[in-house]
Structure 1
């Protein structure tokens, strides 16, 4: 097993190691939270926007399930005088900047032609961003000593959530609400290039002559894992549509219960089914890793899709026009980010001193409380309260969960294992969007939020099945 890094980081190096997480969140929030749902609504209309948006998210995120793990594996074995992680950040970032330029042109189109071109470009964007993330996620295990990883994860949280959300809320969302999508994408690209430059400052040793040959067998496993996971989501989505058609006119509660059941099955069966076809028995027998991934998947189904469908939810709950909803959809994540700033470093301190399983479960429980406020809050002011609560929840959950993950994976295969957990990151968006989107077209988006609250509860329960957990300090 590769030895853990012994060199301790200076305070500013925590920023360099995590700089590209800022870029990855920035592009995700701009695309998934604002640009893509708005363009889909423009292309297909109000009545079917949930289903079409769910479809575009499904295929983009299933590509991420495959490519991020693939690129993580390639990064583990990449020989370079610049180290094995940073070249992936540079190439992925530059490629996505090119895609953004094409996307700005597509924004001026209409109808199904615009939708299908957007689908292609969104797939290419996910390919480029996951190439970058494949290298980024291996930096903490590679260069940060174990007793500093809680703090580094806290800094990761600050750069991953609050700061990009402030930029989106104050600068980019107003551009999108005014129809200046090309300018919004240009500002996003500029931010990503700055983060790429900061990542190049990371003290990463040359990997020339130190890497081992790649075992290409896992690639077949990755393909099968993606096929299995996608088949499970598509199958459950088909079952949901058949059941809804058979029931005809029924209550929103019944439809929501169907959606919750389908999501729970997709989360648990998706992870167990996908990892079961992996060729490496070490992965198949790694039960702590499996339950950790299920817990992350359940929580991220909630977090990712609350953000992705926030625009539609605000239009539904408060009957807002698109322009006003876009502005609010940019401001609410800013409040969330502010509370992540207030609690992010505290969350890192807590995760270094207490059982990371319980800290992760507590974060998910607080998230469920935030969803209660989202659903029952009678005014827009209450949405700001909900954003604050979910900000606290996400800070604690993600810091503790990520630190827990770095404890239970083999260090020498960190890129591969953390790439495999993209089943949680990418699969979350796919499950919530594809299954939840089709239901929301019939129930509305308030009931969709109820379903995401249940996912927080599932996350809190399943993380307690991770048996090999310990405080770092």
Structure 2
């Protein structure tokens, strides 16, 4: 029986989320775009940023659940979770150093060997290697970290502990404001050092102050079938996305060869991009649900529609933030894009926090679906505003709207999901949505990056407007698919 925990316990159980969130909040939206601009040509940077995102997310999608699964069975004397957190962080430091060292390979003689083989420079190859390895080690630690609340926190205190976790996940968006100028100044090693120091400090606090009861006997259940399902789901999302990218590229080349007007290319390719992204999500979720929960997927279609709603929204909001630094550099023409990106992320966080808190309160009173629909509509408005933004004040207003939408969605969508799953199988069902969450990034960035470069070659800056319009369409579709989900405590036929 668990003892009642105090605030100190909740803080130390969740403090490693602060290190993880600082790492993700700096590397993905700020550091990677900066390094990509150094390593690849201007007209291919979105495609190569998408390659980094897809490779990293595919590794995360594979490693994180496997780590959680195998930490469940660990009989280490430190406990089930902390050995994975410790060694994952130690490896993080090594792989962060590889990312930092990538700048040393700019103009390297190795380019003569690597570029003909891989199609990109040695510096980018080192960056890709470091990122993939970092995702493997970081998600090894994160997969285990996710088990600390279920392991150590009593049922009646998990809401409090989850609130502390959410705070640690949002707080780095405010702290990153101080890192943007460092990146703009080209001080990559200092940036990598800050990330590594954050991970190390929070790992040490976890190791020292969190107490786990070692597992005396390894569970007898066999995880091989579940591991195979995870491999299959990862391969599915990557395969579907790469197939969609091939279709988009082939269509673009065909239209260009036919001397089709720019306006017609925008209309055809933009609509095709929206259909392909949404279709990739539908196909991925359908087969992902069949792989994850088998025949039960047919009898719980509202849950499947809930995952589709979640992926449509997350694919849009995550991709917008991922390409934002290139947008303000190429369209708004700011001189310090990394700094301005961190400022916008902080503004989004300032609007996200009260929206999460207020959204959770309202979700229990006016209904989950209404709030999710509001989140989709307000996010659509914020994204469409970006299409007409030519100065930072309008971009900031757009960021405020996206912050409100994302915060409201975070509070209400997960609550709806917990209403839809069978109580005795919540872990199995919700685990599918966690796996598919990485799939959203694979779809949104993997398809959006090449599309942005295609249209930017036609007219500088045009690509961002096209993909942002597509992401606005994904937000709207996330509202439409709510029709397939009944209100909680109602049957699908009502």
User: What TM-score, normalized to structure 1?
Assistant: 0.88
Alpha-carbon offset, residue 198 of structure 1? 4.2
Match of 1:179 among 181, 186, 193: 186
- Work out whether 1:93 is the aligned partner of 2:81: no
Residue equivalent to 1:127: 136
1:26 aligns with 2:22: yes
1:448 equivalenced with 2:462 (yes/no): no
Q: Report the equivalent of 1:362.
A: 374
Going from structure 1 to structure 2, the CA distance change for 1:48 and 1:187 (only over 3 Å counts) comes to: same
Q: Could you tell me how far apart the structure 2 residues matched to 1:24 and 1:401 are? A: 23
* 1:313-332 correspondence to structure 2 within 5 Å: 313-321=327-335, 324-332=336-344
Residues 318-376 of structure 1 show CA distances to partners (whole Å, capped at 9, x for unaligned) of 1234xx11211111101111223333333343445554444344333332222123223
Q: Is this contact kept in 1: 2:56–2:131, CA < 8 A?
A: yes
Assess, with a 3 A threshold, how the Cα gap between structure 1 residues 397 and 151 changes in structure 2: closer, same or farther.
farther
Quote how far apart the aligned CAs of 1:73 are. Answer: 2.0
Q: Sort the Cα spacing of 1:124 and 1:278 in 2 relative to 1 into closer, same or farther, 3 A.
A: same
Count matched residues. 463
**Alignment equivalent of 1:462, drawn from 443, 463, 481:** 481
Aligned in 2, Cα 1:73/1:106: closer, same or farther, shift over 3 Å?
same
Segments of 5+ residues of structure 2 without an aligned counterpart are 108-120, 456-462
- Bigger Cα displacement from structure 2, 141-150 vs 381-390: 141-150
The TM-score, its normalising length taken from structure 2, stands at: 0.84
In the TM superposition, residue 465 of structure 1 has moved relative to its aligned partner by 3.7
Q: How does 1:381-400 map to 2 (within 5 A)?
A: 381-400=393-412
Structure with higher Rg: it is: 2
**Hey, what does 1:337 align to over in structure 2?**
349
- Counterpart position of 1:106: 102
Whole-angstrom distance in 1 between the partners of 2:297 and 2:391: 47
Partner of residue 138, structure 1: 147
Q: 1-side partners of 2:249 and 2:91: how far apart?
A: 37
Within 5 Å, give how 1:179-198 maps onto structure 2: 179-198=186-205
Change (3 A) 1:166 1:352: same
Counterpart Cα distance in 2 of 1:357 and 1:329: 31
Question: Could you say if the C-alpha distance between residues 156 and 376 of structure 1 is closer, same or farther in structure 2, counting changes exceeding 3 Å?
Answer: farther
* Cα distance in structure 2, aligned partners of 1:10 and 1:345: 21
Query: Which of 222, 237, 249 is the equivalent residue of 2:230?
Result: 222
Q: CA deviation at 1:310?
A: 0.8
Higher relative contact order (CA 8 A, sep 6+): 1
SS in 2 for 1:309: helix
- Alpha-carbon distance, 1:297 to partner: 1.6
- Give the drift of 1:168: 1.2
RMSD: 2.9
